[in-house]
Amino acid sequence: MRQSEKPDFFALLSDVMSYYKQDTSEFMMGVFWDACKDLDFEVVCKAINQHVKDADKGQYPPKVADIVRALQGTTTDRAAIAWGKVYGAIGAVGAYQDVCFDDPAIHAAIVDCGGWQKVCRGEIAELSYLQHRFSQSYKAYNDRGAFDYPRQLCGDRSPDSEYLKYGRPIPKPVLIGNPELAKKVMEQGGAGGPRITFNAAELVKLG
């Protein structure tokens, strides 16, 4: 979530706790914000709604652990949101620029699909199959304890050595989604391909 969404998030929590006839405190709000600030606001809303509707756990006000537990059941929704980001970037950025998404599972799934260039150049007739393959791969990474991913997805451009040879700056990747999260993904990713391990606890935070 962005800082600009913080008031909406607090208003949501206040409404939820009011429903359970519970008071809110600055400490409680802070705990929820620290746990959920790296998630999409829509994903948090769905997780809270899922908790409220739960026949057993929904009898009690949600705790942070309840939200994390509910998020485990929204993998399909997150895969759909992730594909929306990918599909939008295909049209807005294209195959000739490097990109970095705000979710490491997107990077790993795109690598499984053949890489950024191949995904961008897929045939329209194969789009449905590509979405299905991406979604299945994305959900699989969400279910893993840890996985490797590249810090950025390379476009069809000249290699870095060519830019350095002529004293030109290496093009920076286009950040897709939340810029701060995308920078975090880039900082923690491998150099040219899948090289480092991403912890599942961080994955839950990134949504």
Q: Is 153 helix (H, G, I), strand (E, B) or coil?
A: strand
Cα 32–chain centre separation: 19
Q: Which of 47, 40, 96, 55 is nearest to 73 (CA)?
A: 47
SS3 157: coil
Facing residues of 199 across strands? 146
Domains of the chain, by residue range, sit at 3-73, 76-206
Q: Grade residue 145 by pLDDT with cuts at 50, 70 and 90.
A: low
pTM: 0.62
Question: Cα separation of 123 and 52, whole Å?
Answer: 42
Secondary structure (3-state) at 129: helix
DSSP state of 144: S
- Strand-pairing partners, residue 174, are 99
| pLDDT tens per residue across span 94-136 | 999 999 999 999 999 999 999 999 999 998 888 999 999 999 9
Q: Show the tokens assigned to 204.
A: 């839950």
Beta-bridge partners for 148: 197
Q: What is the pLDDT of residue 34?
A: 87
